[in-house]
Amino acid sequence: MTITIREGGPDDIPVILAMLDSSVEWLVSQGRTGQWGSKPLSENLKVAESVAGYMDQGSAYIAEVDGVPAATLTLSDAPGDYLAHLPPPGEPERYIHWLASDRRFKGHGAGAALLAHAAEVARRAGVRLLRVDCYAGGDRKLVAFYEANGFVPTQTYTAGERNDWPGQVLARRV
């Protein structure tokens, strides 16, 4: 098994949305609908617009396992507007958006490889802070995944229409 990482582009949006749908399907099968709900994200126009918007602001990366797209993330210079109420970090940063994987590749290390790649991209740009936010409800397995990849929890927040979606911002020095 070989993992390679390539830069993504607008033609990859359907591939990225399929990975998000795969993640939702897997979460639903685990009874964990709090993060992204129970419907395919590709059916939500706002999600497609968000993926394309972050891609325009930064760079999307696709991890391929033996040539097959397995995971994705987008890297930009700032978090999403939904975090505008939090204090800024006070230094340049690279921010991870939409990390997702095709769950057929769960356990192959594609997500961890993308996080390592994001750290290297930030380091090469002379940026020492890499941040991400994620769902922090339920079993907090997603927070634990980021912690296992060198991130440290920094700030909590709530989001969503009813302001009841628990989130966690995490940071990693690179």
CA distance 85 to 147: 24
Q: Say what the pLDDT of residue 122 is.
A: 98
Q: Say what the pLDDT of residue 163 is.
A: 82
Residue 101, CA distances (Å) to 48, 50, 64, 87 in order: 16, 17, 10, 30
In 3D, which of 100, 59, 101, 104 has the Cα closest to residue 77? 59
Q: Say what the pLDDT of residue 167 is.
A: 96
Q: Say what the pLDDT of residue 160 is.
A: 80
Q: Say what the pLDDT of residue 72 is.
A: 97
Give the number of domains in the chain. Answer: 1
Q: Give the CATH number of the domain where residue 143 resides.
A: 3.40.630.30
Residue 71 in contact with residue 110, Cβ under 8 Å?
Answer: yes
Residue 167, CA distances (Å) to 7, 40, 60, 107, 159 in order: 28, 21, 22, 24, 7
Reduced to 3 states (helix: H, G, I; strand: E, B; else coil), residue 115 is helix
Q: Say what the pLDDT of residue 1 is.
A: 84
CA distance 157 to 141: 17
- pTM confidence score: 0.94
Segments of the chain with pLDDT less than 50: none
**Which structural domain range is residue 13 located in?**
3-173
